[in-house]
């Protein structure tokens, strides 16, 4: 298949590109490089520097493609509170532009990168795809819910094939966000630099950490699906954040101080996925353990002197 990957110069997108190419697909990467890095784009892929708000460019690129994997969005929760208009324009309007361009070009399959944040504060654990979407605490979460809704609308109105992937907590090599707001890269970089590790809620939150290679695999398995599908992507195992920190210390063989950041508004106490649906329907399951994933992540940051 010939696949357009939006946001393909980012952390997750770059891993998805490599897997698609290794499976024999043709890949076009579209990224405006506002957050991504062209160096992360596999040389076998065609790269186009463009913005989803550029309707003319989308109309030029999309014809001849069979599917779109849509990962282009602003993701920093704190920044979304400061810049709600920018997040709305980039994430929501960009997605609608993309869907319209797909419709006009006859490309009617989209795999959308969503987030477990759409569930808000869960009523029960593990979270299943049938659970109601929760009250959102920040503009980022609202944009993800709205992007999902537009994808589903185009399924109903125009018979798009829509696969929505709700990520839990991805981590792994190649995560170079600036600013970095995700826990594991911040923990690893602080530990390698022997500076205090920033820790909210004393690390008592429970999260479902999914290694990037396992997450990437969840994007290629649904390429032949038709209709509307929603899948959680997680390990079904909740881990206390403080236990992740201790595992990093164990791997490194030393400890560094903890920087108690106190409470953080908008955080939920526990997030754990049920991945039963994607296991049953697509045969997907995570293969990389948290410890092995942390070892690979530490080696990446150590090798790149971050």
**Catalytic, out of 119, 140, 154, 167:** 140
Determine whether 301 is an active site residue.
Answer: no
Residues in the chain: 306
Q: How far is CA 269 from CA 108, 201, 204, 250, in A?
A: 38, 9, 8, 25
Determine the pLDDT at residue 202: 87
Beta bridge partners of 270: 206
Q: What three-state secondary structure class fits 113?
A: strand
Instruction: List the chain pLDDT tens, one digit each, 306 residues.
Output: 999 999 999 999 999 999 999 999 999 999 999 988 899 999 999 999 999 999 999 999 999 999 999 999 998 887 888 999 999 999 999 999 999 999 999 999 999 999 999 998 888 999 999 999 988 888 999 999 999 999 999 999 999 999 999 999 999 998 876 666 678 999 999 999 999 999 988 888 999 999 999 999 999 999 999 999 999 999 999 999 999 999 999 999 999 999 888 887 767 889 999 999 999 999 999 999 999 999 999 999 998 865
Determine the pLDDT at residue 113: 97
What residues contact residue 135 under an 8 Å CB cut-off, 6+ apart? 120, 121
**How would you classify the pairing of strands 258-262 and 197-200?**
parallel
**From CA 95, how far away is CA 6, in angstroms rounded?**
10
pLDDT in tens, 58-81: 999 999 999 999 999 998 887 888
What angle in degrees, to the nearest 10, is found between the helix axes of 11-22 and 212-220? 60
**From CA 294, how far away is CA 100, in angstroms rounded?**
40
Phi, psi of 131 (to 5 degrees): -65, 145
User: Residue 252 has which token pair?
Assistant: 């490194």
What residues contact residue 249 under an 8 Å CB cut-off, 6+ apart? 191, 255, 256
Alpha helices in the chain (DSSP H): 11-22, 55-61, 77-82, 84-87, 94-105, 139-158, 183-192, 212-220, 241-252, 276-282, 290-303
If one counts every other C-beta atom within 10 angstroms of the C-beta of residue 85, the result is: 8
Determine the pLDDT at residue 261: 86
Architecture of domain 2-171+209-234: 3-Layer(aba) Sandwich (3.40)
Peptide bond before 67: cis, by omega within 30 degrees of 0? no
Q: Where are the domains of the chain?
A: 2-171+209-234
Determine the pLDDT at residue 99: 98
If one counts every other C-beta atom within 10 angstroms of the C-beta of residue 112, the result is: 25
Determine the pLDDT at residue 266: 67
Angle subtended at Cα 149 by Cα 147 and Cα 151, rounded to the nearest 5 degrees: 70
Is residue 184 within 8 A of residue 191, CB to CB? The reply is no
If one counts every other C-beta atom within 10 angstroms of the C-beta of residue 187, the result is: 26
Determine the pLDDT at residue 209: 97
Determine the pLDDT at residue 182: 79
Q: In 3-32, which positions are buried (b, 16+ CB within 10 angstroms) versus exposed (e)?
A: bbbbbbbbbbbbbbbbbbbeeebbbbbbbb
Model pTM? 0.94
């Amino acid at each position: 298949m010939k696949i357009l990957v939006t946001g393909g110069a980012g952390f997750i997108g770059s891993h998805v590109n490599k897997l698609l190419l290794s499976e024999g697909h043709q890949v076009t990467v579209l990224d405006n490089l506002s957050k991504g890095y062209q160096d992360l784009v596999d040389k076998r892929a065609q790269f186009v520097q463009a913005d989803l708000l550029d309707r003319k460019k989308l109309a030029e690129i999309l014809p001849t493609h069979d599917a779109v994997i849509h990962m282009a969005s602003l993701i920093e929760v704190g920044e979304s509170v400061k810049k709600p208009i920018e997040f709305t324009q980039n994430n929501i309007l960009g997605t609608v532009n993309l869907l319209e361009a797909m419709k006009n070009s006859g490309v009617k399959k989209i795999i959308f990168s969503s987030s477990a944040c759409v569930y808000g504060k869960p009523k029960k654990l593990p979270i299943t795809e049938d659970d109601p979407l929760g009250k959102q605490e920040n503009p980022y979460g609202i944009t993800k819910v709205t992007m999902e809704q537009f994808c589903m609308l185009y399924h109903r109105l125009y018979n798009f094939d829509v696969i929505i992937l709700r990520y839990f907590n991805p981590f792994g090599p190649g995560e170079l966000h600036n600013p970095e707001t995700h826990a594991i890269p911040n923990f690893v970089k602080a530990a390698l630099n022997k500076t205090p590790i920033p820790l909210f809620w004393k690390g008592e939150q429970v999260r479902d950490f999914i290694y990037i290679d396992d997450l990437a695999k969840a994007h290629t398995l649904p390429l032949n699906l038709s209709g509307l599908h929603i899948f959680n992507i997680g390990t079904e195992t909740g881990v206390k954040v403080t236990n992740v920190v201790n595992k990093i210390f164990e791997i490194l063989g030393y400890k560094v101080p903890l920087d108690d950041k106190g409470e953080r508004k908008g955080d939920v106490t526990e997030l754990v996925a049920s991945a039963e649906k994607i296991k049953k329907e697509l045969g997907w399951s995570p293969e990389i353990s948290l410890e092995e994933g942390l070892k690979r992540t530490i080696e990446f940051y150590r090798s790149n002197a971050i």
